[in-house]
Amino acid sequence: MNAANPSIQLIRAQWLNLLRTPAYTLPTLLFPVMFYVFFGLLMLRGQSLWLLCTFATFGVMGAALFSFGVSIATERAQGWLLLLRASPAPVSAVIAGKAFGALLFAIVIVVMMAALAAAFGEVRLETKQWLGLAGVLTVGALPFCLMGLALGLWLSPNAAPAVLNLVYLPMGFLSGLWIPSTMFPGWLQTVAEWLPPYHLAALALDITGAKTADWGHSLAVLGAFGLVFAVMTALGWRRLAGVS
């Protein structure tokens, strides 16, 4: 009788893959932190808390989108997903492994930024606020994981990084993650309020006391966004099986 648990083995394989791909892991972890250092700690020192919340949102969103989007598109093209689907592998563990990976990245990004903010940005929060910030951003990464998964199932491996960047960077900017949306012209502020990263950042800002948020409204927007991409994921999966 086989004692090895296939789900644990698959999740382990996903993590080994991440650890052995520094060309992906290091930029994903360091890119948003570097942005925070430039904007939040060097250029706009008075906005360190605000920009901690928005750049951490930017970081966890990127980790979620790219962990799923690029890797699923690549694994689909190289036939790894095909082999797993044809064998008695628990394919849900592939998704779970990537989700754990994205959430771990989210936590690492938030912790690195929080440490920098506390050390060099004079950001002072209570313990429960630090934990709340890490918690909301980690859980809030899930709708973006679904978006990455859906795009990974629909895009080719060559198109995936370009399309994801095309979504990630403008959506981050337009949601006020780089520059507070209050500095936008009125019409652009209206656009920002329709975008999911704006609402995740709003929850982070509320937890840290930087700005109050309408939790019901923001959670509804994030939930609806996640639902749309859950449907796209289901359709993408059916497409793989040749169901028209």
Q: Is 242 in the site for other proteins (CB under 8 A)?
A: yes
Q: Name which of 64, 74, 76, 48 is nearest 225 in CA terms.
A: 64
In whole angstroms, what is the distance from residue 111 CA to residue 105 CA?
10
Choices 15-23, 45-53, 164-172, 177-185 (CB under 8 A): range interacting with other proteins:
15-23
Cα within 13 Å of Cα(112), Cβ side: 22
Q: Is 16 in the site for other proteins (CB under 8 A)?
A: yes
C-alpha dihedral sign at 194, 169, 133, 124: negative
As given in the structure block, the two tokens for residue 152 are 């990974």
Least distance in Å: CB of 91 to other proteins? 11
Q: Is 5 in the site for other proteins (CB under 8 A)?
A: yes
Residue of the chain from 45, 85, 128, 217 that contacts other proteins (CB under 8 A):
85
Q: Name which of 37, 187, 174, 204 is nearest 115 in CA terms.
A: 37
String marking each residue 191-230 x if it binds other proteins according to CB under 8 A: ----------------------------------------
Which residue number, 1 or 183, has a Cβ lying nearer to other proteins? 1
As given in the structure block, the two tokens for residue 42 are 């060097």
Choices 79-87, 118-126, 182-190, 211-219 (CB under 8 A): range interacting with other proteins:
79-87
In whole angstroms, what is the distance from residue 136 CA to residue 9 CA?
29
Applying CB under 8 A, which residues contact other proteins?
1-2, 4-6, 9-10, 12-13, 16-17, 20-21, 75, 78-80, 82-83, 85-89, 241-243
